[in-house]
Amino acid sequence: MEKHPHYGHRIRLRERVRKEGLDNFQDYQVLEYALSFVLPYKDTNPIAHELIAKFGSLSAVLEADEENLQEVKGISEVSAQFLTSILKIYGCYEKEKVNKNGSIKNPEEAYEHVKSFFAGKLIEEIYLVSLLPNNKIVKTERISQGTNSQASITIRKITDAISRNKVNNIIIAHNHPKGIAEPSIEDDNLTKALVLSLSLNDSFLLDHVIVGEDGFYSYRQSGKIDKYRESIKDVLITKGVAQNMAKYGDDYDKK
């Protein structure tokens, strides 16, 4: 079988990746390398250049939708699906690495635990982390999926998950795709409602973490959860809440 004219270049490219990895590659070279596996008989170099020219960066290419990718000459439906799958595969890899039987002792650990669940996501999602009183993770699950700017959730859905997982302590987390990790009024209202509703049902919200492009926001770290609990303390005393509540570690609480 006759070898295609770009065979030698691809062999050299793949040997370079074996020896050096991709750290020293430019954006278009990473794409050229990736596309060589799904476009075996095409010169992927000009296609990679055109992708970068159209979208501006490697990350923007990987976050683009299939229809827009296919506007680039040489990108078929299959290769477009391949490119959009890269972040999804990476997200699965990251989730597999997360130690589901570990524990969360501060906001930074909460962020490290949940951020992989939002890798490559272009829509808002809400995850619930169920914890034992000693902060050991029982389960992490998605409980809502929305649009690129909004995800809705009911208190009932959260309390049902708590009952199903047989826990009293949770962290909730959601993402702001293409946005900063700053809470909206709706986020504040949801968190305040959760603090009250869960407390009245002998459950506790340890934190609400927002993941954005610039990092994360922690309601516990901001002091808002303690503020919300303080505002309803008379109700809680009347209710007689006496269950054990998960807390972040002593080192964090002394800050």
**What is the full DSSP assignment across 3-60?**
PPTTHHHHHHHHHHHHHH-STT--HHHHHHHHHTTT-TTS-HHHHHHHHHHHHSSHHH
Indicate if the pLDDT at residue 252 is higher than 70: no
How many Å apart are CA 207 and CA 2, to the nearest integer? 61
Residue 238 pLDDT: 55
According to DSSP, residue 120 is labeled: T
pLDDT-derived band at 2 (thresholds 50, 70, 90) equals very low
CATH number of 101-253: 3.40.140.10
> Does domain 7-94 bear CATH number 1.10.150?
yes
pLDDT-derived band at 4 (thresholds 50, 70, 90) equals low
Where along the chain do the CATH 1.10.150 domains lie?
A: 7-94
Q: How many CB atoms lie under 10 A from the CB of residue 42? A: 16
Token reading at 236: 């809680």
Count how many Cα atoms sit within 13 Å of the Cα of residue 170 in the half-sphere of its side chain.
34
According to DSSP, residue 103 is labeled: B
Where along the chain do the CATH 3.40.140.10 domains lie?
A: 101-253
Residues 67-79: what's their mean pLDDT?
A: 94
Q: 217: closest CA among 171, 170, 173?
A: 173
